[in-house]
Structure 1
Amino acid sequence: MSVLEAFHQMLAQRMDHINEHILNNIEDYQRLNDECDGIFAVIIALLEEGTITEIGKLLIEYEDKKLEMQSLVETVMYEQGVKDGCCLESILHKNF
């Protein structure tokens, strides 16, 4: 396993841990997640009934892409934070 692969594996494990053990214990996060799940369930039910037209399908596709983008942003930000922390540790180690 390369260093980059190990780094990405560590990031994935850490982000999973944060999601499972930290975010799920934050009431506002859990409430918003439940509300989103409820809204999405209504949208899917309406789609299955044929109530929503092609625009509804496009809105769902749009939301899926936005969620995918948000996930990518969070991953990149977390990765950069780890890199910044390593850089800071190196600077502090040299100066102290």
Structure 2
Amino acid sequence: MPIVTFHKNGQTYRDEVQPKTNLVVRAGIKAYPYPHLKYECGMGKCSKCATRVIAGAEHLPPPNWKEKKQLGERLEQGWRLTCQLWIEHDIELLQE
């Protein structure tokens, strides 16, 4: 099962998740530790859930049109919309 390492506000949260997990969905149901994830719409419209992928980006699908529209040049710096990602491999994320 994938391990998610999530950095926010100087703290690190680590949890094992089921394959094909969406972290915004887990945050919405208050599944620890992802209530700390900043998000709003969950549909790729607001970009509040933008996170920088520190490790594991090679396992993610290419950015979709919503991510391209919302993140623009930040995509090149490793940013993704967490609401658009379904985790299937270990990943490390940073949200500022």
- Fold conserved between structures, TM > 0.5: no
TM-score (normalised: structure 1): 0.23
TM-score, with structure 2 as normaliser? 0.23
Higher relative contact order (CA 8 A, sep 6+): 2
Structure showing the higher strand proportion among its residues: 2
